[in-house]
Structure 1
Amino acid sequence: MGLTIGVDIGGTKIAAGVVDEEGTILTTNQVPTPPTPEGVIDAIAEAVRGANTEYDVDAVGIGAPGYVDDKRATVLFTPNLSWRHEPLKDMVEQRIDLPVVIENDANAAAWGEYKFGAGTGHGDVVCVTIGTGLGGGVIIGGRLHRGRFGIAGEFGHIRMVPDGLLCGCGNQGCWEQYASGSALVRYAQQRATATPERAVALLALGDGTPEGIRGKHISEAARQGDRVATDAFRELARWAGAGLADLASLFDPGAFIVGGGVSDEGELVLGPIRKSYRRQLVGSRWRPHAEVLAAQLGGGAGMVGVADLARQG
């Protein structure tokens, strides 16, 4: 199989791209994300048709933000789009007359990084995406691990703190409440409220109030040496590293690949995550340490990954 299309479903736009066998995106087409589930399906088909004007394409892969069944055909649950047991594969195929594969978007990004990005050369990889929330994917022996029901890799909802912070999933103490972009902002706002004299640069980048602090302000202030901003990154890294140490006990990968918006800060966050991981890893002094690597494909990882998964059928 040659060229395939990968589809990325975002909150504001749906992007479809033609991807070759080397993981290169040849062309893309974007359409706005409609407000209704039915509208999203029509928009996916529109995005695919718009991307498929110049090439002979064999199949389409769709990265869906939610739980996808073991047959890679039905979206079992996704909170933001209100899909419940949505037969997405069949509904899109009826509109575009091409074979379709559905995959969880974090799994798709993990596969993209493994096959064409930071994971190249590793057979066992765990990818963790730290953005607004926290997600991930697992590759074992060169194969994407989906689990019996297709829902493996939902790391963000590992219960890290009993009776901890309420998560959007309805449970308490989930990992993404402590190691995500949202958590980073919360840490900075709390510290700026308690000790504003330590957050002068950070507050100046926003509207002067702790409530006005955003992720981009924290990154810029940390580069300027603002103590509250750097402390916020250290706290996020502490929790991120703790989670990686737990995942190492489960999967023993050769590499962790850290992606998502937070990882765009490079060593500002990756260095502290590595230290936290090694410090909290059981038997750390006596065992090999997985590499902790920055993702390489950026926002294109999911599109590239799901296009390649569609190529495999």
Structure 2
Amino acid sequence: MNLAIDAGGTNLRAQIWHNDNFIAATEAKSGSIGLYSWIETLLAKYREIKTIGISFAGQVEDGRIISAPNILVDEHNIRERVESKYGVTLKIENDLNCAVLAEAKEFGVQNICALYVGTGLGLGAMDGGRVIKGFKNVATEIGHIPYKKTPLKCGCSRDNCLELYASGSGIAKQIEHKRVSCGTTLKELERAGEIEIVELFQEALLVAAGTTLTLFNPQVLVLGGGIIEANPYLEEFILKNIKDYALSNSLEGVKICKSRLQNASLGGALLLKDFDD
């Protein structure tokens, strides 16, 4: 059996598979139980599990959890601990790196980028069938590219991250700073007359997409995440305006579209068993 886990900031989600056959699904709140403890409960229930793939919304390196702003971590050296105790194979990877694995399988390409806009701004990139990770597995942290100075503070403690403009958390911080009384969706902001926040978001999103295309020259750029899903017009908006934000050669033949997957990170976690760390 194979266990796939999506460890997000709100929920821990798991699926159990036997070869290509779906067996069961379960979930828990991220703050209600430690990830390691939750894995132990699953291994106790499904004793035939041999491989575990984890999509993790935080920084990981060589099977270790380095940082996790919203997940209860009760064991940082999670791969060594689980493998030595239970005799299984465990692989853990950043959630966007997992997402791009699933998107690559969905589109049948080896050069692809997944730009996801939700609570944060994340990017997974694959070149020639291999996920780009970098020296410390933080190669594609596009949300933390220096962009524009602001009175706000990012989760990384800086005040000029792209994520402060093009993410749900960034929008929420701008609303709080301006003391605006409205919801955090783009439509609610427009109805409240807060067009500036919407326009800042849109421009930052174009910068993120254009930077991705220029740096990685993918065959496919997939757009995903809660904000993209809630605002379908953003796909057409990017297609219409991206020429002003990316190298023209990087736009030749590229396909830009919304994700077709419901949970690419979880799907990618299941695929980790087939890829080298």
Instruction: Report the TM range for the smaller structure's normalisation.
Output: 0.7 to 0.9
State the 1:293 CA deviation.
Answer: 1.2
State the 1:103 CA deviation.
Answer: 0.7
5+ long unaligned stretches in structure 2: none
Residue 17 (1) aligns with residue 9 (2): no
Give the corresponding residue for 1:250: 215
Give the corresponding residue for 1:40: 35
- Return the match for 1:170 from 133, 144, 157: 157
Larger Rg, first or second structure (1 or 2): 1
The CA deviation string for residues 42-94 of structure 1, in whole angstroms up to 9 with x for no partner, is 113224544x37xx54311112222221x3x1112223347699211122334
User: Aligned-residue CA RMSD in angstroms?
Assistant: 3.2
Read off the aligned partner of 2:111 and give its amino acid letter: D
- Structure 1 distance, partners of 2:260, 2:197, is 24
State the 1:143 CA deviation.
Answer: 1.5
Read off the aligned partner of 1:7 and give its amino acid letter: I
What SS does the corresponding residue of 2:136 show, helix, strand or coil?
A: coil
Change (3 A) 1:40 1:160: same
State the 1:123 CA deviation.
Answer: 2.1
| Contact 2:152 2:174 (C-alpha < 8 Å) held by counterparts | no
Residue 297 (1) aligns with residue 261 (2): yes
Read off the aligned partner of 1:45 and give its amino acid letter: E
Read off the aligned partner of 1:242 and give its amino acid letter: V
Change (3 A) 1:306 1:135: same
Read off the aligned partner of 1:100 and give its amino acid letter: L
Aligned pairs (5 A) from 1:127-146: 127-146=114-133
- Structure 2 distance, partners of 1:20, 1:229, is 50
Q: Which sits farther off after the overlay, 103-112 or 78-87?
A: 78-87
What SS does the corresponding residue of 1:86 show, helix, strand or coil?
A: coil
Give the corresponding residue for 1:91: 81
State the 1:131 CA deviation.
Answer: 0.6
Identity of aligned residues (%): 22
- Structure 2 distance, partners of 1:188, 1:67, is 28
- Structure 2 distance, partners of 1:127, 1:16, is 22
- Structure 2 distance, partners of 1:182, 1:33, is 18
- Return the match for 1:60 from 42, 52, 55: 52
Change (3 A) 1:173 1:48: farther
| Contact 2:35 2:74 (C-alpha < 8 Å) held by counterparts | no
Give the corresponding residue for 1:241: 206
Give the corresponding residue for 1:207: none
